[in-house]
Chain A
Amino acid sequence: ETGVTQTPRHLVMGMTNKKSLKCEQHLGHNAMYWYKQSAKKPLELMFVYNFKEQTENNSVPSRFSPECPNSSHLFLHLHTLQPEDSALYLCASSQARDSEDYEQYFGPGTRLTVT
Chain B
Amino acid sequence: GQNIDQPTEMTATEGAIVQINCTYQTSGFNGLFWYQQHAGEAPTFLSYNVLDGLEEKGRFSSFLSRSKGYSYLLLKELQMKDSASYLCAVRVRSNDYKLSFGAGTTVTVRA
Contact = CB atoms under 8 A, between A and B. Distances in A.
Answer whether A and B are interacting partners: yes
Interface in A90-115: 90, 97-99, 102-109, 111
A111 B31 CA distance: 30
Contact of B42 (A4, A40, A103): A4
B101 A103 contact: no
A40 B97 contact: no
Q: Is the interface of A mostly helix, strand, loop or mixed?
A: loop
B20 interface: no
A77 B86 CA distance: 29
A9 to B, nearest CB: 9
Chain B interface residue bracket vs A: 20 to 34
Interface string B34-53: 01000011111100100000
Nearest to B87: A43
A61 interface: no
Interface of B: 4, 8, 31, 33, 35, 40-45, 48, 87, 91, 95-104
